[in-house]
Amino acid sequence: MKDKKKPYKIDSASKNIMGVIQDHLTKHGKIKGNNKRETLILLGACIHHTQNSKGKLKPTVWNPDGRTCKCRMCKYEWGGEILTKDKMKKEIEETILPFVNQYKYLAVASNAGAEAVKYGSELGSMLMVFPNNYNKIAKVVKKKESVKKKKSSGGGDKYNSSLGGWRRH
């Protein structure tokens, strides 16, 4: 890479995530940071949308099989199905949370330092409130979908496509 781009910090994303992501795209539209760690952080920060010159948001997601969503910038895939709050809580408790708990315990026990402990602690707190935050978004999506269904009988499927498969099956 010729000229190095501004180093990416997690804090800077909260101001203009999309701008930061767009500054770190390869010519093929894939996310790439100045180094491996930055690339990982940017991949985690991807919000699966870009902005055109007029500031209009555009999804970077497509549905290869009509069910899963795939983002062309971060290359991640996820299901279109919306889970209930309880199911989401269970998923987190059964998958990622045990590792975060292990990390927090070991970070303190091994004297890894305040930053390492803070990181684990914040991640743990974020995961604990994730099912609630997820549910808030899910409710808005479901409400909009039912309004859309009432309004149009066939045709304009713009809403669903812009949500990249956030629909109930």
Binding site for Zn ion (CB under 5 A): 46, 48, 71, 73-74
Q: Facing residues of 78 across strands?
A: 69
Q: Whose Cβ is closer to Zn ion: residue 40's or residue 106's?
A: 40
DSSP conformational letter for 110: T
Q: Determine the Cα–Cα distance for residues 76 and 91; give it in Å rounded to an integer.
A: 18
Residue 62: φ, ψ to 5°: -135, 165
Q: Whose Cβ is closer to Zn ion: residue 73's or residue 100's?
A: 73
Task: List, in sequence order, the alpha helices (H) in the chain.
Answer: 10-23, 36-45, 85-94, 97-109, 114-151, 158-162
What is the CB neighbour count within 10 angstroms for residue 134? 17
Q: Whose Cβ is closer to Zn ion: residue 74's or residue 88's?
A: 74
Question: Minimal distance in Å, beta carbon 8 to Zn ion?
Answer: 15
Q: Whose Cβ is closer to Zn ion: residue 74's or residue 107's?
A: 74
By beta carbon distance, the residue nearest Zn ion is: 71
Question: Minimal distance in Å, beta carbon 42 to Zn ion?
Answer: 10
Question: Minimal distance in Å, beta carbon 31 to Zn ion?
Answer: 7
